[in-house]
Every structure is written in structure tokens, then in C-alpha cells.
Amino acid sequence: MRAMVTGGAGFIGSALVDRLLAEGHEVDVVDDLSTGSLTHLAEARATGGKALRIHQLDIRLPEMVDLTVRRRPEVLFHLAAQASVPVSVAEPIFDAHVNVLGTLNVLEAARAASTDRVVFAASGGTLYGNPDPSKLPLTETLPHRPLSPYGVSKKAAIDYLVAYRELYAVEFAALALANVYGPRQDPHGESGVVAIFAERLVRGQPVTIDGDGEQTRDFVYVDDVVDAFVRASARGGGLVCNVGTGIGTTVNDIYRLLAEAAGVATPAEHGPPRPGDVRHSCLDPARAAMQLGWQAWTPLSAGLASVIEFFSNR
């Protein structure tokens, strides 16, 4: 197929580009490089040949529509986003410009280009708000009640996807992602604990855990997530599917496994808890298993070891 990947120079997007090229597809990458990096696409650029085209472009611009009409992708993977919850709280208008108006422009591009399907990166960590812990693991049938501007913008994007499907027959699949981790994740951005801890461990620097470290998250490996995106290019139409493991892992356990992989025996330090943090979160992947034929297969210890190896080599 001919595919377009917005945010294709990012952490998840570049891994998706690698997978699509390996399967013989043509890929157009759209990224303004504000947070993405061409270094993430080094392997793709070395092996992709004429099957890969990279366009440095902001998804909010009219040129996004022109490019999409010219390239006519069959599937448009939309991963470009303002991805920081703290930034969304500090700058909600900027967040909405990128995540709401940007997505709307991408949908207009897909409509104008007669694109068959848009596969959207939604946020499983913010979509459901702060539900009762008895509801864990969270299912897609729970109300969408995000509590941050970032989460609200992602919910609005899903609402637009539904509307475009009904009005213009632009099919979609939305993947509500858990805490994605893996190589190429930026330890200085909105990256989560794995990349931050891994880089500090490799450099021999102290690691500080917010609060007591017993808070839990659903950590899912980037290659598994990419597999879900590829499957959603042909399945799961009109649905939101959780992409996670269904297992909550404490931050203390994440540190322990990373430290073991790095050969570090020093215990982590503990700081004050972050205000407003959800205590426990994990996503039920049953719908993804049924509708996409997907499941996470990478053991947590193996995935974390690959992150340590990545930062060691870098």
C-alpha cells in the first residue's frame, strides 16, 4: 500500500515507518521536526530508497492538504501531536491548535485525497480520566472523561473521526495507547519513566522516583504498538481499541528491572509525588485481540533491556 505517517520522525512514528518499509510499502513521512528527529529515520533513509519520501511540514498548514492530494495515500497514520500533558496545561490554546485543528486539517486532507482509512494515535492514559480503581483494567466502554487539555484534545479528535466517517465515509481506527516505551524514546521530552531512568542509569547518575513508587502503569513495547497500527490499517474500522498489556507495573519494579539490566546496584531516591497523578492505570486489550488479532508479546524484562542497550550504544 501507499502510506503516509504524520509524526513519522518521532519515537513511535519512526518505528512504524521502519515496519512499513520492511513490508514493502511506499511511505511518505510528514513531520515538522519540532520534536521528531531525522536521526530516527537513519535506517529508513539508508534502506528505503524510492519507497520513502520525507516532507518537513506542519500538519496545520494548507500545504498538508495539497501534499496528501498529490501523494494520495491509501492509509494515513496520524501520530503527529503535541504530546505533553504539562505543556497542554500551561498552553492549552497551543495544544488545541496542534491536536484539534491539526487533526482536522489531516482529516480534510484525507477527505480531499479519497484516503481509504485514517489510523489515529489516541491516548489511553488520559482518555478515561481518573476512574475508580475497581474498573481496572479499563475497557473502551467506559465514559471518555479526560481531565487535561491534552486528553480533551485527543477526545475531540476521536469525535471528529466519527463525524468524518459518517459525513464523508473516511474510515478510521483509533488506538488508545498505554505507556509506550522502547528505543529512540526521548529522555528529555514527554517520555515517561523508562527513557528517563535508563539514560540516568547508563550515565551513572542518580534516579529519583516521584512519591513512593508504588503507582502503577501499563507499559507496552514500541514494536508491539507498531504491530497494532499495521493491523489497524485493515481492521477495527470505526472503533477505539486499547493498546496495552492489561497489567499494571509499579514504578519501583521498572527501576529494579532497568537497574538489573544496567548492572547498577544503587537504590533509587524518592521525591514528593507529582500533583494530580493517577495512582493506578492499565488498559484492557480484549477488544484489540478480537478486532485486530493483536496482543502484546514482548516481555517487560526483555523490552527494558533493549532500552538500556540503546542508551548504552548511544
The residues assigned a catalytic role are 150
d(CA 18, CA 12): 10
Pairing of strands 249-250, 216-217: antiparallel
d(CA 244, CA 130): 17
Q: Is 21 helix (H, G, I), strand (E, B) or coil?
A: helix
d(CA 154, CA 149): 9
Kind and range of the H or E run holding 77: strand 75-78
Where are the alpha helices (H) located in 55-99, listed in sequence order? 62-71, 85-90, 92-96
Question: In degrees, to the nearest 5, what angle opens at C-alpha 194 toward C-alphas 192 and 125?
Answer: 40
d(CA 223, CA 307): 12
Q: Is 166 helix (H, G, I), strand (E, B) or coil?
A: helix
Write the single-letter amino acid at 198: A
Q: Name the DSSP class of 128.
A: T
Q: Note whether 254 and 193 are within 8 A (CB).
A: yes
Q: Name the DSSP class of 274.
A: P
Beta-carbon-side half-sphere exposure of residue 176 (alpha carbons within 13 Å) = 32
